[in-house]
Amino acid sequence: MIQLNERKPILQAINLRHEYEARGQKIVALQDVNLTINAGDFVTVVGPSGCGKSTLAKIFAGLGTPTSGEALYAGKPIKGASSERGMVFQELAVLPWRTVVGNIGHGLEIAGMPKAEREQRVAELVRLIGLEGFEKKYPSELSGGMRQRVAVARTWATRPPVILMDEPFAAVDAITRLTLQEELIRLARTTKQTVVFITHSVEEAVFLGDYIVAMSSRPGRVLEIVPVPDMGINRTWEQMIRDPRIEAIVSRVFELVRGRAVAPSTERQHA
Amino acid sequence: MHRSSSLMHLPAWVVQTSSIFGLFLVWTVASRFVAEPAILPSPAASFQAMADLIARGTLTSAVQESLITLVIGCAICIICVVPFALSIAQSRQLAMILQPMVRFISCVPAIALIPLFIVWFGFSTKAVYATLFYTSAIPLLFSVITGVQKIPRVYADGLRPLGAGPFRIVRDVYLPGAMPGIEVGIRLALSYGWRAVIAGELIIGSSGLGRVLAQARAANQVDQIVAVMIAIAVLFLIIDRLILFPWNQLISSRWSSF
Ligand SMILES: Nc1ncnc2c1ncn2[C@@H]1O[C@H](COP(=O)(O)OP(=O)(O)OP(=O)(O)O)[C@@H](O)[C@H]1O
Ligand SMILES: [Mg+2]
């Protein structure tokens, strides 16, 4: 196994700017975004709807090119998608004509893993996401939350060094979500993967992240990077909500994303 | 069984076939009224003519010829058009550039091209194949392109970070995703193609049911003309109901989530 230097930058955004053009109108989705994510980090990105979180994730995945600025992976400019950076989409991306196991094993199939080994790995993941008994079902026969779990497992299956997750648990019920979040933390910590987790829930961001990237909207900028004290690999919600430090961070991030915080950097007075 | 509820609780198939029986009834009455078999033969006379044509082997061999032309022609068409459509639909720009051209070409009805095909290929089945190909390719092309464009973009985007290249994406996303469109396209190709085969054979006179029609007309055998017409309709109904319809049911159940 390659020993990763813990503080080695793996994803970088340098003066990123992204504009969309819709029916002649220009929309600035991202502006002046500078961000460095180190290998092994669990980063959460939080911000109001429309602040460019999905846009940022797609640029890191290589599915979109920034209008200006640079996005780097392991020091090299990102050109196109790669199996080194997996992505779970906000929209449902699993294929309706493939079964649960067909979808989860898709990346392994593309990578050319032998069938027996693939089936074993897929079975492990099915157990992990709690979908035993649904292996041969098609996505149309599953609930929204179950489908999203399949999408997560599909991305996780190939163990890419970086996983970008765009609001993966939005359609999952609150109780299942808690289990999935705890499971995700355990998984990410044991595999040392880098996770960029996008959410619009401040609590989720604080619970999961090593640090939180708080973003503002119109245009989307990075407001502040808020570190979270290390709660260990076995953190639970119960433990987190009792901690006064966490409570302070939650309210700080809330202030930031709602635009009520006094920005520490420059003049960001808005009308 | 809810389909039969409005019509006196009869089974659906009785309701559906009753209109065809109605047509035969009107035809019988009309042929009595016209009383001129050289203009409108009775159903009985027409079926007699059909029996004669079958007994002589004319109809059976003509049916075989026409069906073989249809199947081979459509197969060639599918093999050429589906990959072409899948590849141009991948790029929105390419589809945008090519679509007006294809639409322009499709404004020329196939019948109008038959003279040209005769010049190129002579009075042979090749000219019939050309007519069939031209007629079937266009609806097939458009259906497949529409089918691909209906696939949510995120399906292809979702595979790229899993390491999928363009070939993988066509095979695993566009081909299965466009299945409903391909299915509609093949149905259209077969039904338009069937008409093209008959029309082509009728004008070119090379083989098949169209030639039998042309010969019957030349011999003033109206009962034979009607007999062949019935054979043409029944054959297509069989193809559509027995092969294409069950296939459609399968696809629409699997693909129901989008
Ligand atoms: N394909 C597109 N064409 C035009 N504008 C777009 C497109 N995608 C996003 N936008 C615009 O860019 C901005 C950022 O969109 P993005 O999807 O990145 O936001 P987000 O932070 O992910 O929001 P949400 O939390 O609602 O998912 C929005 O104002 C949106 O209107
Ligand atoms: Mg989004």
Residues B204-213 pLDDT 10s: 888 889 999 9
| Least confident span in A167-171, A197-201, B241-245 | B241-245
* Category of A15 on φ-ψ map: left (φ > 0), alpha (ψ -120 to 50) or beta: left
Is the whole-model pTM more than 0.90?
A: no
pLDDT of residue A200: 85
Residue pair A69/A16 in contact by the 8 Å Cβ criterion: yes
Structure tokens at B121: 């290929």
Mutate to test the interface with B, among A78, A79, A85, A95 (most CBs of B within 10 A): A95
Q: Identify which of B180, B228, B188, B185 has the alpha carbon closest to the alpha carbon of residue B208.
A: B228
Cβ of A176 closer than 6 Å to ligand 1, yes or no, is no
In CATH terms, is domain B38-255 a member of 1.10.3720.10? yes
Cβ of A218 closer than 6 Å to ligand 1, yes or no, is no
Read off the pLDDT of each residue in B88-98 and give the average, rounded to a whole number: 77
Q: Give domain limits for chain A.
A: 1-84+199-261
The 10s digit of each residue's pLDDT in A222-240 is 888 888 877 666 667 777 7
Atom 27 in ligand 1: which residue has the minimum CA distance? A49
Mutating to test ligand 1, I would choose from A25, A46, A51 the residue with most ligand atoms within 8 A of its C-beta, which is A51
pLDDT of residue B256: 57
For residue B4, pLDDT over 70 is answered with no
Residue pair A39/A161 in contact by the 8 Å Cβ criterion: yes
Residues of A in contact with B257 (CB under 8 A): 96, 138-140
For residue A177, pLDDT over 70 is answered with yes
The 10s digit of each residue's pLDDT in B172-205 is 999 898 888 888 898 889 888 999 999 999 988 8
What DSSP letter does each residue of B118-144 carry, written as one string? HHHH-SSHHHHHHHHHHHHHHHHHHHH
Atom 12 in ligand 1: which residue has the minimum CA distance? A29
Interacting residues of B106 by C-beta distance below 8 A, sequence separation 6+: B138
| Least confident span in A56-70, A170-184, B72-86, B103-117 | A170-184
Cβ of A199 closer than 6 Å to ligand 1, yes or no, is no
Q: Give domain limits for chain B.
A: 1-33, 38-255
Residues of B in contact with A158 (CB under 8 A): 162-163
Mutate to test the interface with B, among A82, A97, A118, A143 (most CBs of B within 10 A): A97
Would you tell me which CATH number, out of the four given (3.40.640.10, 3.40.50.300, 3.30.70.2190, 1.10.390.10), belongs to the domain A1-84+199-261? 3.40.50.300
Q: Identify the DSSP state of A264.
A: S
Cα separations in angstroms, A20 against A24, A163, B237 = 10, 25, 51
pLDDT of residue A268: 42
Whether A110 sits inside 8 A of B173 (CB atoms) is no
For residue A262, pLDDT over 70 is answered with no
CA dihedral B242, B253, B150, A80 (to 10 degrees): -120
| CB contact residues (below 8 A), chain A span 127-146, against chain B | 138-140
pLDDT of residue A267: 43
CA distance B11 to B4: 6
- Min distance A125 CA to chain B CA atoms (Å): 16
Mutating to test ligand 1, I would choose from A27, A31, A213 the residue with most ligand atoms within 8 A of its C-beta, which is A27
When pLDDT is cut at 50, 70 and 90, the band that residue A266 belongs to is very low
Dist. CA A52 → ligand 2 center (Å): 7
How many CB atoms neighbour CB B28 within 10 A?
Answer: 13
For residue B2, pLDDT over 70 is answered with no
pLDDT of residue A251: 85
The 10s digit of each residue's pLDDT in B23-55 is 888 988 998 888 888 888 888 888 998 898 899
For residue A38, pLDDT over 70 is answered with yes
The 10s digit of each residue's pLDDT in A61-90 is 999 889 998 889 988 898 888 888 999 998
pLDDT of residue B249: 73
